[in-house]
Amino acid sequence: MKPKVMIQENQRFTKTRRALLEVLKNRHLTFKELYEELSKAGFKNVSTLYNNLDFFIKNNMVIEINLDGTKYYDLGIDNPYHQHDSHLHMVIKDPQTNESVIREIDYPEIYESIFSHPVFKHYEIEYIRILVSAKKKEKHQSY
């Protein structure tokens, strides 16, 4: 995966950085999960992972999602569902297990309505990140 943003000349695009981006393809992972996946590929240095993740976040290549106090990471580049500046996630909670699944949502009209809303007419919006938490509706029985 080749990044779409420019990396400064003194910032090498290393094998570790490539591996990190590859692991995040189509996935939302915590730091621990990222570390476990990269460890399987031979990249076991925690501080290198932390520094690379920080670099990618600062350069809008990775996005941090905070869900109930747990941070998840997602690609901000080469993602078919969003760019770093337009990002909508839906967290679907299972009421039986209390587990959550993060899904990408891509509806440009949502962003367009936000950009064109009068409340923002005096502002230049840098990015939009929306996190919607939901659970499936229970079917109601007729009595």
Residue spans of the domains in the chain: they are 15-134
Torsion of Cα atoms, 75 then 126 then 86 then 10, to 10°: -20
pLDDT tens digits, 54-97 = 999 988 889 898 888 899 999 887 665 566 667 788 999 888 88
What share of the chain in percent tops pLDDT 90? 34
Confidence of residue 143 (pLDDT cuts 50, 70, 90): low
pTM for the full model? 0.74
DSSP string, the chain: ---SSPPPTTS---HHHHHHHHHTTT--B-HHHHHHHHHHTT---HHHHHHHHHHHHHTTSEEEEEETTEEEEEESSSBTTBBTTEEEEEEEE-TTT--EEEEEE--HHHHHHHHH-GGGTT-----EEEEEEE-PPPPPPP-
Domain 15-134 matching CATH 1.10.10.10: the answer reads yes
